[in-house]
Amino acid sequence: MNPLLDRLQPYPFQRLRALLADCNAPTGLAPIDLSIGEPKHPTPALLTEALMSALERGLAQYPATQGSTALRQAISGWLARRYGITPPDPEREVLPVNGSREALFSFVQAVINRRTPDCTPPLVLSPNPFYQIYEGAALLAGAEPYYLNCLPENGFQPDWAAVPAEVWRRTQLVFVCSPGNPTGAVMDLPQWRSLFELSDRYGFVIAADECYSEIWFDAPPLGALEAAQRLGRDYRRLVVFSSLSKRSNAPGLRSGFVAGDAQVLAPFLLYRTYHGSAMAPAVQAASAVVWQDEPHVEVNRACYRAKFDAVLPLLAGPLAVERPAAAFYLWAGVPERYAGDDQAFARDLFRHCHITVLPGSFLARDAHGGNPGRGRVRLALVAPLADCVEAARRIAAFCAAA
């Protein structure tokens, strides 16, 4: 077996199951799970109808790894409308993928060059906390993760200026997650300018994970391609990842895309022809329909806004919590009496309230003198509105009773 597999850490939800294994939940309360960021709103009817219609045409053909022209054009058109940019070239700058998760992982395998001049492992920079795929992909590519703590004093954003020059010189790839998971923080134009300038100086690729871009509350988040165009630059060394999972409540469809630098996407496409990761034709056809429809996205966004409007007044006192700029998470500080022990708080919520939340320390790593997830829990407001409100009431009552 590949010895690098031994470096992978258990997934956060595996750790959560172990943490709660000996906890007995109260039998008189219905369980409410706020731990997993899996959308629960109904999948739009136009998607299922388009999928069924495409399936009627049969499955007796191999799909093209590059995807259909219709799908690439639909994605290019959506990017242009959403971000007010020139449509990316659907032939060279857009590539359909089987959800952003597999693309994020495989992209790292294609980008990292282990043969460095000084024989030191290349670095992959990641926000901390982070989506665990970033770390696992880096390790299995033979690179070393370098974590950038996202702290309240920096607006939960990486501090690019704090990274030493010797780290930048070894960096081959930088992960950006905006809107952030779990913080909901959004990068602004000056932050993008700084990162682009560093990429120009040191030559690393930027992988921008934007899968939460369509769940926002006050203003649509700035996108990476949009930032590049507003700054008068092309997409050199920049790629973005997105999917229909959160935007269209279709995580089971496994449909997303990568877009950006054609010089980066060409070898990535070559890699994928060997990787065997072409999207099923029926999924391609249905995806093309959904990328061209916005009303269902607006309805979805309104549902999340209603949850935050209802839940925040109940939790703002008991927990240290604020409305995020985007995404469907609350990145909540635990009560002071827990002295930063997010795992103990998660266990108590399960034992006393039958509510499952994810300890923040499971989403981060110890780096630069601390774990930026410690003392926080992630609450995914994906359950129905009534369940989210009930969970908030139970949490508030539990915090007040102690």
Write out the H or E segment, with its range, that includes residue 241: strand 238-243
Record the tokens describing residue 281, joined without a space: 């034709």
For residue 57, the model assigns a pLDDT of: 87
Single-letter amino acid, residue 257:
F
Count of H-run helices and E-run strands, the chain: 14, 12
Q: Do 183 and 150 touch, CB atoms closer than 8 A?
A: yes
Nearest to 244 by CA among 212, 279, 277: 212
- Count CB atoms within 10 A of the CB of residue 136: 20
Record the tokens describing residue 63, joined without a space: 């799909």
Peptide bond into 179 cis (omega under 30): yes
For residue 402, the model assigns a pLDDT of: 66
Which conformational region is residue 276 in: left (phi greater than 0), alpha (psi within -120 to 50 degrees), or beta? left
Cα separation, 285 vs 52, whole angstroms: 10
Cα separation, 329 vs 323, whole angstroms: 9
For residue 276, the model assigns a pLDDT of: 78
- The structure tokens 């994970």 sit at 209
For residue 36, the model assigns a pLDDT of: 95
CA-to-CA dists, residue 71 to 137, 353, 363, 368, angstroms: 27, 45, 34, 44
Pairing of strands 376-380, 32-33: unpaired
Mean pLDDT by 10 residues, the chain (402 residues): 94 97 94 96 95 90 94 98 98 96 96 91 98 97 98 96 97 98 98 98 98 96 98 98 97 97 98 90 97 98 98 96 96 97 98 98 97 98 98 97 77
Q: Do 331 and 324 touch, CB atoms closer than 8 A?
A: yes
Q: Map residue 398 onto helix, strand or coil.
A: helix
Query: Considering Cα of 326, then 181, then 242, then 60, what sign does the dihedral take?
Result: negative
Single-letter amino acid, residue 368:
H
Mind listing the domains of the chain with CATH numbers?
A: 3-42+296-401 (3.90.1150.10), 58-293 (3.40.640.10)
Q: Map residue 96 onto helix, strand or coil.
A: strand
List all residues 6 or more positions away from 218 whose beta carbon is below 8 Å from its beta carbon.
Answer: 325
Cα separation, 158 vs 372, whole angstroms: 12
b or e along 319-337 (b: 16 or more beta carbons within 10 Å of the residue's beta carbon)? bbbeebbbbbbbbbbbbee
Nearest to 250 by CA among 105, 45, 388: 45
What 8-state DSSP symbol labels residue 123? Answer: E
Instruction: Specify which residues 259 forms β-bridges with.
Output: 94, 240
For residue 326, the model assigns a pLDDT of: 97
Record the tokens describing residue 224, joined without a space: 């990476």
- The structure tokens 């209802």 sit at 310
Tally the C-alpha atoms within 13 A of residue 399's C-alpha that lie toward its C-beta: 21
Cα separation, 224 vs 231, whole angstroms: 11
Whether this model's pTM surpasses 0.95: yes
For residue 59, the model assigns a pLDDT of: 86
Q: Do 289 and 43 touch, CB atoms closer than 8 A?
A: no
Q: Show the CA angle centred on residue 273, arms to residues 272 and 275, nearest 5°.
A: 55
Cα separation, 68 vs 288, whole angstroms: 9
Write out the H or E segment, with its range, that includes residue 239: strand 238-243
